[in-house]
Amino acid sequence: MSSSNYVYNIALVGAGGNQGKYIAKELVRGGKHKVTAITRADSKAELPAGVVPKVVDYNDTSSLVDGLRGQDVLVITMSVTAPPDTQTKLIDAAKEAGVKFVIPNEWGYDSERNPGLVYDMLIGERVIKIREYCQSKGIPFIGVCGGFWYEFSLGGGDIRYGFEIEKREFTRIDGGNIKISTSTWDQVGRGTAGLLSLKLYPETADDKETISSFFSKSFCVESFRVSQNDMFEELKKVTGTTDADWKITTENHKERYDRAIQMFRKDGDWRGFGTAMYTRSFFPDQAALMPNTQNKLINLPQEDFEECTKGAIEYAKNFIRYG
């Protein structure tokens, strides 16, 4: 077995951000990789221990190329509000620097299996166009998909999973029984680290799954397959409440989605963007339930639903909403 058939040098954009810091933590913890944070000079983000900072100028191609030279893989995590050309600049620089492959800024649902879903979620243009851009540049990519982040989404107000935890309010979409795939930040971090710990290419006939097996494809992981009602039952258990303690309303999935689209496209209200994106996951077609997860391949743990729900409650206490 050759050590050159594994990735070692990993460049991570957004290493101090919501998802990035969990990926960085898991990569450092595994002890198999050197993790370099690609960062701006004016960044105030606190980097996880063991991560090496590399300051670059996103407006200077040579600076980006220099920052990525010698790296085996580029992992991109950034806000959906980041300038649209940021990823393409990074991909161009990665290609010129000789980076072996890229993990672009996806982290949501599987656009390979269901491109229509991500377009309905208003992120198809960003996700699929970047995949096509990688292909046009001749650089391999893997889309890591974990569904919506559990703590962030359950604790993030009505526009996400339909809960205002602090106010004890629950908007049930249709009957609340549609199950979706959802992941904690920790699980996506473990999943990404697990993927990057596989062999890069097969060496024997027994090497069925390697990193290269997923080039130009999605690599899906999850924490839970749950419905709104499953989440509600867990919230009640953790908070010691009953239905009577909550204000429960019901909204039709299509009416909620159409209302959100109008909020965003006609009124310019970003709450509409979030509401539409999340509501689409609860449509009756169950498109947000991912059947092709790789949890077993990389031995991901089964997380504790109750403990993760407690994490969502803590997140809700400090949640800053749109508008």
Give yes or no: residues 132 and 232 share one domain.
no
Q: Looking at the structure, tell me whether residues 43 and 9 fall in a common domain.
A: yes
Q: What is the mean pLDDT of the chain?
A: 95
Q: Is residue 10 part of a domain?
A: yes
Residue 207 CB contacts under 8 Å (≥ 6 apart), including other chains: 199
Tell me the pLDDT tens digit for each residue of 171-224: 999 999 999 999 999 999 999 999 999 999 999 999 989 999 999 999 999 999
Q: Do 72 and 22 belong to one domain? A: yes
Stretch 237-250: mean pLDDT: 98
Find the helix or strand (DSSP H, E) in which 175 lies: none
Domain match, 8 and 42 both: yes
Task: State how far the Cα of 173 lies from the Cα of 162, in Å rounded to an integer.
Answer: 8
Q: Are residues 85 and 129 in the same domain?
A: yes
Residue 94: which residues within 8 A CB-CB, separation 6 or more? 11, 68, 71, 74, 102, 139
CATH number at residue 210: 3.40.50.720
Residues 213 and 139 in one domain: yes
Rounded to whole angstroms, the maximal C-alpha distance in the chain is 62
Q: Residue 245's pLDDT band (boundaries 50, 70, 90)?
A: very high
Mean pLDDT of 225-229: 98
- Asked if residue 207 and residue 64 are part of one domain, the reply reads yes
84-123 confidence digits (pLDDT tens)? 799 999 999 999 999 999 999 999 999 999 999 999 999 9
Predicted pLDDT at 321: 58
Q: Do 106 and 172 fall into the same domain?
A: no
Domain-embedded: residue 294:
no
One domain for residues 190 and 271: no
- Segment 17-27, tens digit of pLDDT: 889 999 999 99
Q: Which of 33, 39, 45 lies closest to 13 in space, CA to CA?
A: 39
Minimum mean pLDDT among 52-61, 256-265, 312-321: which range?
Answer: 312-321
Whether residues 174 and 113 fall in one domain: no
> Which CATH number covers residue 246?
3.90.25
- Any domain includes 9: yes
Question: Quick count: other Cβ atoms within 10 Å of Cβ 178?
Answer: 21
Domain count, the chain: 2
In this structure, are 169 and 38 located in the same domain? no
Return phi, psi of residue 166, to 5°. Answer: -65, -30
In a domain, 297, yes or no: no
pLDDT in tens, 54-92: 999 999 999 999 999 999 999 999 987 788 799 999 999
- Per-residue confidence (pLDDT) for residue 281, from 0 to 100: 98
Q: CB–CB of 192/26 below 8 Å?
A: yes
Query: Has this prediction a pTM greater than 0.85?
Result: yes
279 and 154 in a single domain? The answer is: yes
Among candidate residues 137, 66, 144, 53, the one with its CA nearest the CA of residue 105: 144
Sign of CA dihedral 291, 10, 78, 132: negative
CA-wise closest residue to 152 among 165, 167, 142: 165
Read off the pLDDT band of 320 (50, 70, 90): low
Q: Which domain holds residue 275?
A: 149-183+224-289+302-316
Residue 321 maps to a domain: no
> Among residues 201, 220, 239, which one ends one of the domains?
220
pLDDT digits (tens, 9 = 90+) for 292-314: 999 999 999 999 999 999 999 99
